[in-house]
Amino acid sequence: MISVDLLLDLGWWGLIYVLLPTALGALAGLPFWLRRRVLLGNAVGSTVIAVVMIAFILQLIFSQLADGFLTQADLLPVGVLVVAGWVDVLLMFFLSGAVEDRVKRRIIRPDDF
């Protein structure tokens, strides 16, 4: 049976590895999205996410190297972080679509017709 402490640990690290990079990327891309430069905002946000995830991955690899040589089993957490990075980028793209939709509705009002 899975312990409550393990679930809380997974939830906490999930918040850090998924929500933090997504929030930073979205904050970096938001000024561009509001000016209807969606592609540029997505590129800036994706770059921020990539930098944050690379920092997380390098920190993990260096901490594992400090314990000794890397084995194949030690690379599983790195793969999980890579998948989390892709999830971050997809979440940011969904956020950019929502922001773009909202900006379009604000600019083109159906009542004006």
The number of folded domains in the chain is 1
Helix or strand holding residue 111 (H, E): none
Residue 88 in any domain: the answer is yes
Flag whether 113 is in a domain: no
pLDDT in tens, 12-58: 877 888 889 999 999 999 999 888 888 899 999 999 999 999 999 89
| CA–CA separation, 103 and 22 (whole Å) | 20
Would you say residue 3 lies in a domain?
A: no
Q: Which structural domain, as residue segments, surrounds residue 49?
A: 13-105
pLDDT tens per residue, range 79-97: 888 888 899 999 999 989 8
Q: Does a structural domain hold residue 8?
A: no
pLDDT band (50, 70, 90) for residue 112: low
Retrieve residue 37's tokens: 């430069």
Q: Read off the pTM.
A: 0.80
Inside any domain, residue 38:
yes
